[in-house]
Structure 1
């Protein structure tokens, strides 16, 4: 056999047989960085949420004193709490502003509403009729800040925090507002005396002091001045420094392209899984918000004083905030377990709500109606419901990603305030016997648990952060 002649291959022959097709996307590198200033941004936002919650819940814990000082009725107290949910009526406008203009512009507008509302409430007008209108108007303006304050925490955490800190940042930003409403349970009854307050004197125990109406009005005025001053300072701080976003994103998800405003709304409304989890969140949290806003009125038939009712509301909300941050940190450490966490929390909330409802019917159930049982059941309820809020928020984002975080949470917080508004509206119609409120609370927790049990979870945003190279 003869030897074959050796020839060089041409350039075209050296091309690979299977080359990349035109349809394959090229993954561009994303340069990410986490900035230390994120903690300052989180602190400013959280303090605003704290004050918005405190102003919203100013009147429920001191409803007996407010009735004496400003001649409020039970309907007035319910309306003052109702203005918070009413402020969510133009929520579509606020969500559009957040999506188009960013977090800074939205937060400045919300803080301006808070300053204007707290200023109107604190004007020392002598006419009680004019004063009542100013207080109601101030509460409405504070409610207009709610759509931004309550919907922006997931957007803030995605914009500024790394994936292993997102749930924790969301928990802090979203739960501090509830901590503010809890502190109003504490500061209100401690600073404002009840009309007929029982005190301990050196000579006589359980002495009843009938406080003068002017003294009660002056103490309420002091609280209103203090809240206005704190909000004015925070508005100045946000005006001087609160960037919409960092120079570089902290993760792939933060840098990814999101859907448009209209596409986002259509995608959420056509997603059955999102509707399920949105109802599972909004019904119990909406009912609990309305229920806690008039907790003093609910506990008055059980002969619980204004101060004791304030302490019960305070510890139930504080317990939920502390436990919620701890559970969010736990969710950051083991990802992909959000549904299991929610099932456990809602099961505990259903049991605690049932216990409280049956305890208030002690004449029928013969359960012991004591401070210990009321404290324990309310604290457990607050722990389970309030601590589930940041877990819900994270699951919302994962379910409908790439819908922007602000739009997603704007929809669900609107639904929650819608149910709060419906509850308080019925309260203005039936303000005498409040037993039905406790049954609504129990039913909402059980219904939410059933929805979560049938919910099928997915983690689209987490998949992007874990499997896409940064």
Structure 2
């Protein structure tokens, strides 16, 4: 339970073939066990992911209120969102910590960054200049928790869950952070009044700035309290691994940190599937961040755009968990599931893109068609995340799960940053973003069709354990 570095003896396989007894050809069975506490561990990790996503998306839904209270500019709001991908830059450090000292140490450090960042944002300074710097610093610290929250789900599921529950656990742990960012679209506007709720005295409009500021402060205090409680819970109980591993794969020895990086960068099959994951998910993240700007020419309000984004994320989470559960029942079908998902994503993205070009295509552009096509894009792409993560682990086993997923999530954030960087130069007409989304889905579908799947970890669990 401690965060001290593990010894060489502790890193040896926990499950090894038994030595044959004298004058007999039989062998002792290999024992494995699952513990009920695995659901508590999964819940704690998922709640931290939820809060990290919620804090990351705090300011976007209440940007108008924040501008009036803290004198934020549009650039400030954009940078507050950008601190999430920026916080992912030291991902190699977190992957090394996860590999050398286990999930507990890495998660404790991430939770500490989250609680410190939430505390900085909550300090009620009167000087707005220093208050803005405190808020930016808090958002950056929250972003530093991203590498562990976004990458450690397969490591947790392999360490604690049996083979027939791994995909489900990965889906829950990896998608809850998306749900947190989606809930920010509801919590922010419900808790913080918009600045157009004003009082008219004669011909002068007075912004009720104190009330708006108090409500924002209430949200910040509440988020800080929830994160602090989770940090204390993780500090007192969050073991890196169970006493007895749940499967042969969980107990097997993995490659070293340096060997893992070299293996990943030289594995063409891994690079192919990594691009199939990172390009569409990275483009979709940047596209969703400016969805209200994309839908404005189609006469869709900011409120409706927010609801579209919310339901696409929620739908992706629900559908992703359902498909992961299906993958647990019918193992060895990850590629087929992803092919079907991205065939649907390609069709939905093409439908949405052509609908937005109604002057050229003459397709009916109604709120219902925009809602349906846009939400379907989010559902298919977001729900593919846990399936991809499981396929990565199967493809490059015995590379440690945290290192593998750290590489691919870094690539996804890289493509998001590149898209947003291009957006600073081409922001007057945004139909090119829709074509980028459609092209990324088709590109991923082609790579998936060419990809040759393998299930090395599954083979170890099914045949070696037998």
Aligned equivalents of 1:57 and 1:365: distance in 2? 35
Instruction: Say whether residues 1:291 and 2:287 are aligned partners.
Output: yes
Per-residue deviation at 1:432? Answer: 4.4
Given the superposition, is the C-alpha separation of residues 451 and 225 from structure 1 closer, same or farther in structure 2, using an over 3 Å criterion?
A: same
CA deviation map 1:198-244 (0-9, x unaligned): 9xxxxxxxxxx996344333332222222111111111110111000
Where 1:163 maps in the other structure, the secondary structure is: coil
Given the superposition, is the C-alpha separation of residues 219 and 362 from structure 1 closer, same or farther in structure 2, using an over 3 Å criterion?
A: farther
Structure 2's unaligned 5+ residue stretches are 1-19, 21-25, 199-204
- Partner residue, 2:8: none
- Partner residue, 2:255: 259
CA deviation map 1:321-360 (0-9, x unaligned): 0000000000011111111100110111112222223333
Note if contact 1:168-1:325 (Cα within 8 Å) is conserved in structure 2. Answer: yes
Given the superposition, is the C-alpha separation of residues 68 and 365 from structure 1 closer, same or farther in structure 2, using an over 3 Å criterion?
A: farther
Per-residue deviation at 1:185? Answer: 1.5
Q: 1:366-381 alignment to 2 at 5 Å?
A: 366-381=362-377
Question: 1:445 pairs with 434, 441, 460, which one?
Answer: 441
Instruction: Say whether residues 1:418 and 2:406 are aligned partners.
Output: no
Q: 1:381-460 alignment to 2 at 5 Å?
A: 381-460=377-456
Where 2:164 maps in the other structure, the secondary structure is: helix
CA deviation map 1:356-382 (0-9, x unaligned): 233333344444443322321222111
Aligned equivalents of 1:359 and 1:66: distance in 2? 34
Compare 295-304 and 399-408 and name the one that shifted more.
295-304
- Partner residue, 1:204: none
Note if contact 1:108-1:235 (Cα within 8 Å) is conserved in structure 2. Answer: yes
Compare 430-439 and 270-279 and name the one that shifted more.
430-439
Instruction: Say whether residues 1:183 and 2:179 are aligned partners.
Output: no
CA deviation map 1:384-426 (0-9, x unaligned): 0111001000100010000011111011111111111222233
Aligned equivalents of 2:369 and 2:74: distance in 1? 26
Per-residue deviation at 1:448? Answer: 1.0
Q: 1:217-296 alignment to 2 at 5 Å?
A: 217-296=213-292
Aligned equivalents of 2:400 and 2:448: distance in 1? 23
Given the superposition, is the C-alpha separation of residues 144 and 89 from structure 1 closer, same or farther in structure 2, using an over 3 Å criterion?
A: same
Structure 1's unaligned 5+ residue stretches are 1-19, 21-25, 199-208
Per-residue deviation at 1:130? Answer: 2.2
- Partner residue, 1:137: 137
Q: 1:10-159 alignment to 2 at 5 Å?
A: 30-159=30-159
Instruction: Say whether residues 1:314 and 2:310 are aligned partners.
Output: yes
Given the superposition, is the C-alpha separation of residues 459 and 367 from structure 1 closer, same or farther in structure 2, using an over 3 Å criterion?
A: same
Where 1:61 maps in the other structure, the secondary structure is: coil
CA deviation map 1:258-283 (0-9, x unaligned): 11111111111000010010011111
Aligned equivalents of 2:46 and 2:125: distance in 1? 32
Larger radius of gyration: 1
Aligned equivalents of 1:419 and 1:185: distance in 2? 24
Greater RCO, 1 or 2 (C-alpha within 8 Å, sep 6+): 1
Instruction: Say whether residues 1:331 and 2:327 are aligned partners.
Output: yes
Work out the number of aligned pairs and report it.
436
TM-score (ref. length: structure 2):
0.88
CA deviation map 1:50-103 (0-9, x unaligned): 011111122222333333333333333222221111111111110000000000
Given the superposition, is the C-alpha separation of residues 369 and 78 from structure 1 closer, same or farther in structure 2, using an over 3 Å criterion?
A: farther
